[in-house]
Structure 1
Amino acid sequence: MSRFSFRFSLVAAVVVLAGAPKRAPAAIAPYAGDAQAALTNGMRLLRRALHLGQDEVVSHAISLSSREAALELELAGGRTRTVALQGGVVLIDGARAGRYTPGGRLERAWRRLLADGGALDTRGLLVALRAWHAPSVSGEDAVAGTRLEESLQTIGVVRGAPTGVTTVARADSARARFEGAARPVSITLRDLAALDSLKLHLGALEDVGGDGEPATRVSPLNRVVGDASTVVAFFVALAMLGFGAVFFGRRYVETVADTATHSFGRSLVVGLLGQLLLLPTFAMLIVGLIFTIVGILLLPVVVPAFIVAACAAVLGGYLAVAHAVGETFTRRRMAHGAFVRAPNAYGYLFTGLLGLLGLWAAAALTGWMGPVVILFRAAALIVTWLAATVGFGAVLLSRAGLRETFAGRHLGEMSDEYLWATPPATPTAARMNAKD
């Protein structure tokens, strides 16, 4: 009698708790987590008092033959539950639950589930059972599939709970509370089973050896080496292009460089205007070609040619500015008495590229210093843009080195042979001869 009273008291307490309002007032909101924990512990105590833990699954057995596909689960209380497809009949715990077509989609799906479950433990098998859905069929197969699917959702719970998840199980559904979340998250057992099933399937996939590599943190030394390698690669590429330009068109490179040196302000203004008018000019060119038949035919050739010419003008102007910087630096050294062995256009270009890319090299070597590298990169970006703009303007002013109007060219010093004259041809010599 005392045992019955104890059970009745526990049931009444649970009913009272279940009948309480789901949303607590704002005043007791901070204690909602403790209340939910107390409710969870009360449910556990109730399960133990009413011996509801006897439906926990402790083991399973699978039987597959040409006539039968059966699953047997052993519960903690000593009972067994069976689900079988046998000879066109669905049997749940020995009772007939429906009929199916032998060899149909329902039977094939059920056999595939049991075959895959043979490699799983009891926990994994229960997760797979709850995540399983009957295939789309019609007639008696649909009814049998629905009953089979419903029976799998109430087939019992596995002993223990996944790490980090507190499970409160009932006969027909379950909810889980994730302890580490910012706020408690409740999901149904079907959702939990689907997630665990996905984890099982992903874990069973073969490693096909993809190209991806695990993400690693780049050390400051590796970052410096990588940035420095990039700067060196750009320097080598620009030096090769510059040496080729000097080799094949030295006179044109020198004309553009002299234009940038002697008409720096004018080259800067023309370069800015050229950058602003580059896209409108390109658009007008395309529109003008579209309105004529010949223009439409020339469009595939003119458009790439315009883009290549614009890029060549900017790059060639940058190299010419590098030549001008190197020449100016070398001549100032020579003016201060420094000895320079055979100064030439190649040396000017090499020295100028070192100067223009020096800020990028400094930014690469100080990549681990935080704010300092930002200053270096900003300065390098400004210098690079300024050199490209002035060079582009010098290319436009000099017509790609064909016009020396703004180059500031002057005649060199006259050598002795130009100043040499015979004595009779000079006025002094003529007067001396007359006196004699």
Structure 2
Amino acid sequence: MFTSSKALRTAATALAAGALSAGMLTVTAGTAQAAEVCSGTASVYGVLDDNRLTYTAIDAVSGNRLKTLIGPNLGFEPKAMATLNFNTILVTSTAGALYRVDVLTNNNALELQGIKKIADSGWTHDKLTYDGMGHLYGTTSAGLLLRYNVTEDKPAGSQHIGVRTEIDSGFVLKTLTAVGQDRLLATTEAGQLYSYKIIGGAWKRDNLKADGWSGFNQVVSPGGGFYYGRTSAGGMYWYKDANISDGSGSDIAYHNSDPVDASGWTQTLLSAAPRTVSCKVVNTLGQDIARDALNEVGNDFSDYDFTYARAWCAEFGKYIWAGNDVDYANELDAGAISFRTYGLAHGTYRTGAPKVGDAVLYDKDGSLTDGEADHVNLVVAVSADGKQIQTVGGNESHEVQKNGWFNWDTASSPVGAGPALAFISPVG
């Protein structure tokens, strides 16, 4: 399947020069974020045309392929696949069955630990992807986007992959991959690069690139803003998005002159294990959260299907945190008090000393120990003496609003929901 990853790179520059004709756009690298630290290994599973399983490890930071292993035949003809975690893959068959494939990898071998049929029929999706945070997404050939809740690391039956939600039609896409919690990346036959944000049963699309991505027949992401695109000629190219939630493709760094491999990727299907690569920008997580929250001011989120249509402050806070890859954001729910639970669990709960990016909890009865909070919003600015703050919150007069400056310690009800009682910092 491969010869030598680095030996093949000697021809990479010439191949990249010809990439435009294949629909791959070579551009100057996007603006890098200062002090960004990335770590992890991209774990990419695949299926060859003879139905044998493959595993490839890629060093995310360098783009170097570390190893490729070829395993046994799956025993059925696969149609779509999504990797749940390092050793668990969901694969559909051309007959519409859904299988859980358990694997074991080491330095020298890729072994099947077992194949369990989860469903006999009904899984006719042409694409599948898993966001690593409990949501499995799939599309049909007709362009219907569906979401399923995955409740177990190794689903034993349909009861562990349930709550089928039809997001919308019109998703006729060439490739589809998850890049974060309820964040999808897709390409079209015409070469557009799209990102999608999914909340509840609604969605928002950002057009990252107008063209240049038609040369890829597979695109996968292990997280951290890293994207891997495989061409029909078998080359594997890598890209780094500085911010997956900003709705812009201008900060995507291209590495077309230094691909993972110039050829050799002959798999018919590819899927990356989610959240195996992470990137953090030192000391800027709070600022990134504040920027994204401020960008939503004035939005009434009428196109989003929140759990509570008229009480969506907590889901807005989670939406902003999750969009910035905050650790454990999946533990938050539609209740404002879930931020208190989060802060206590991860040691970031405080009754003072606000920081930019914090969630701030309010309650009219002056107590959070009764398991209830009346409101939560996000701190977007803190005065030099720490006494004054500005906030942005969802469902404030039924839209996203900015408030402040106000003295968080003395104001009796600065946003109409009682005093500010606690601050919870995101883990990142």
TM over 0.5: no
TM-score category (smaller protein): under 0.3
Q: Which fold has the larger relative contact order, with Cα–Cα distance below 8 Å and residues 6 or more apart in sequence?
A: 2
Return the TM-score normalized by structure 1.
Answer: 0.17
In proportion to residue count, which structure has more strand?
Answer: 2
TM-score between both structures, scaled by the size of structure 2: 0.17
* Higher fraction of helix: 1
Structure with the greater alpha carbon radius of gyration:
1
